[in-house]
Amino acid sequence: MTDLAQHAHDTRVVVVGGGIAGIVAALECARLGLRVTLLEAAPHLGGSLDRVALGGIVVDAAADGIPASAQTLTALVDEVGLADELETPRDDRLWLAAGPRGAAPAPAETVLGIPANPWADDVRRHIETRGAWRAYVDRLRPPLTVGRRRSLGDLVESRMGARVRDRLVAPYVLAVHGVAPEFIDVDAAAPSLNPALTRTGSLSGAVAQTLRSGSPPRSAPRGGLHRLVDALAARLRDFDVDIRTGSRVSAVRRDGGGTGWLVATDGASEEVGADLLVLASDEDATRALLAPHLTLPPSAGPRPDPLETVMLRIAGVPLPARGSLVVGGGPAPATVRPVSQTWPSLRDALPAGEEVLRVTQPPTAGDDREAVAAACRAASDLFGVGIGEPAVRAAARVVYSRAAPASLLGHAEAVAAIRDRARTVAGLALVGGWLSGNSLERVAADAVAEAATARHAVLWREQGRP
């Protein structure tokens, strides 16, 4: 064994957090022969790739698909041998229900919900004639009035009016990112939009110039995206990673030499030693663990509120076709995903007449029964059919925190400051959605990059090489 290989074998890595960021960071370190321990407080790995059981059927509780453009996730799927077991949605359209006429398919030709043609039938269905006229006025503005705005909400309202913002742009942005469009950076979310606006003089014209042809559909392993988590856990074990679930980290401290770490977990008598500590926990947990050692700069705001997911397995309720996601209106819109109408393998696993819905809503103050009742009301409203509690055969409730999107105004600058501060501490790396942004692909790609930087630093630290 070479000196470098032996050094890698002797280097201890502790990863705190078993979501996709922690799993990927652990895998990247283990590939080079480092000794890795992965600590996760929950009973199983996955984080936002959580799963629940509904009467004997296991289903994804949150994220359930991989975009075709997700190169890092696709590579992981290939690595664990799931590439031949992927399926695509039957109907992956988005439906919006923020207008007075109820749910309808989202307009086909949009960027961030901004329409290329306000007079198109599928646009007027949501904003009505009055909204179309207001949006069309933008095309009549003199070119010299075009200015550059960073806020998506401000840009849309000033150019095309409140109806476009509130009924087309805001519902999806709020549902997916948890923040209002006023806080989304246009240049981060759609970098080509402002330059096209300068060229064309109107926002709808800019959208028409930047439209892309239809992207390939999402995919997921048959049976659910949680199968990727299980396959990655098996892959970690191939590299002798010590996976400890049900292990909540209570504190981290420097070892006697001042360059390593000792990690304490609830109920364990011995601390776990590490030459490299990778914190893949959420923002609050990360800041709490590091508080005795350093104060991190603040994140950009606002932070998304927690979200409640209620999974419903229902019977005897014929559901109309509603694509793969229906989004309601208001500042905290409920959403419903007809999961069993979307993924063929789940449809085939259910008895005739049964469906599985994933309802997301603001956290309910009461118990699980009240949360299920609220979810039934939201689903009834968005699908236009009565879904009463007697129709529910099984249900599960999950409340989770949400990371802000990478396109949040000020996010990039805040993350740069946080990581600059963290890198002043030897043997420390930070990963996770609160830094990378809430896209699953971003989380995985960021974990790959940060783990590579951190392992290089720790492997060469003793040699004094850059």
Segment holding 413, helix H or strand E: helix 411-422
Strands 12-16 and 276-279 come out as parallel
3-state secondary structure 349-386: HCCCCEEEEEEEECCCCCCHHHHHHHHHHHHHHHHCCC
If you search the block for the tokens 């393998």, which residue do you land on?
A: 345
CB 106 within 8 A of CB 257: no
The answer to whether residue 68 is domain-embedded is: no
The answer to whether residue 64 is domain-embedded is: no
Domain count across the chain = 3
Separation of alpha carbons 106 and 181, rounded Å: 17
Q: Is 367 found in the same domain as 330? A: yes
Q: Is 291 found in the same domain as 422? A: yes
Of 352, 374, 400, which residue sits at a domain end?
A: 400
Q: Which residues pair with 394 in a beta bridge?
A: 313
Q: Is 249 found in the same domain as 198? A: no
What pLDDT does residue 4 have? Answer: 60
Separation of alpha carbons 372 and 368, rounded Å: 6
Q: Give the pair of three-digit tokens for residue 338.
A: 């007809």
CB 411 within 8 A of CB 405: yes
Dihedral sign for Cα atoms in the order 229, 233, 239, 243: positive
Q: Is 232 found in the same domain as 167? A: no
Length in residues, the chain: 466
If you search the block for the tokens 């959420």, which residue do you land on?
A: 282
**Phi, psi torsion values for 463, nearest 5 degrees:** -80, -10
Domain that holds residue 270: 3-44+225-301+406-461
Q: CB-based contacts of 157: which residues, under 8 Å, 6+ apart?
A: 164, 165
Q: Is 314 found in the same domain as 187? A: no
Can you state the angle between helices 203-210 and 152-160, rounded to 10 degrees? 120
CB 113 within 8 A of CB 168: yes
User: What b/e sequence results for 18-53 when a residue is b if at least 16 CB atoms lie within 10 Å of its CB, and e otherwise?
Assistant: bbbbbbbbbbbbbebbbbbbbbbbeebbbbbbbbbe
Read off the DSSP letter of residue 426.
Answer: T
Q: Is 395 found in the same domain as 412? A: no
The answer to whether residue 276 is domain-embedded is: yes
The answer to whether residue 218 is domain-embedded is: no
CA angle 184, 187, 191 (to 5 degrees): 130
Segment holding 339, helix H or strand E: helix 339-342
What pLDDT does residue 316 have? Answer: 96
Residue 447's domain is classified under what CATH number? 3.50.50.60
CA distances from 354 to 318, 339, 375 (A): 9, 11, 17
CB 184 within 8 A of CB 407: yes
The answer to whether residue 150 is domain-embedded is: yes
Q: Is 419 found in the same domain as 392? A: no
Q: Is 344 found in the same domain as 384? A: yes
Read off the DSSP letter of residue 142.
Answer: -
**Phi, psi torsion values for 136, nearest 5 degrees:** -70, -30
What pLDDT does residue 268 have? Answer: 87
Can you give the pTM of this predicted structure?
A: 0.94
Separation of alpha carbons 96 and 110, rounded Å: 13
Q: Is 410 found in the same domain as 385? A: no
Q: CB-based contacts of 43: which residues, under 8 Å, 6+ apart?
A: 245, 246
If you search the block for the tokens 């005739």, which residue do you land on?
A: 352
The answer to whether residue 86 is domain-embedded is: no
The answer to whether residue 413 is domain-embedded is: yes
**Phi, psi torsion values for 403, nearest 5 degrees:** -80, 155
Residue 367's domain is classified under what CATH number? 3.30.70
Strands 261-265 and 249-254 come out as antiparallel
Of 377, 400, 423, which residue sits at a domain end?
A: 400
Q: How many CA atoms lie within 13 A of 186 on its CB side?
A: 24
The answer to whether residue 201 is domain-embedded is: yes
Tens-of-pLDDT digits for all 466 residues of the chain?
566 667 677 899 999 999 999 999 999 999 999 999 999 999 999 998 999 999 999 999 988 899 999 999 999 999 999 999 999 999 999 999 998 889 999 999 999 999 999 999 999 999 999 999 999 999 887 654 555 689 999 999 999 999 999 999 999 899 989 999 999 999 999 999 999 998 888 999 999 999 987 677 899 999 999 999 999 999 999 999 999 999 999 999 999 877 899 999 998 889 999 999 999 999 999 999 999 999 999 999 999 999 999 999 999 999 999 999 999 999 999 999 999 999 999 999 999 999 999 999 999 989 999 999 999 999 999 999 999 999 999 999 999 889 999 999 999 999 999 999 999 999 999 999 999 999 999 999 999 999 999 998 888 764 444 4
Of 153, 175, 210, which residue sits at a domain end?
A: 210
Q: Is 292 found in the same domain as 322? A: no
Among 141, 169, 172, CA closest to 154: 169
Read off the DSSP letter of residue 255.
Answer: -
Q: Is 135 found in the same domain as 187? A: yes
Among 150, 170, 220, CA closest to 409: 150
Q: Is 428 found in the same domain as 297? A: yes
Residue 206's domain is classified under what CATH number? 1.10.3110.10
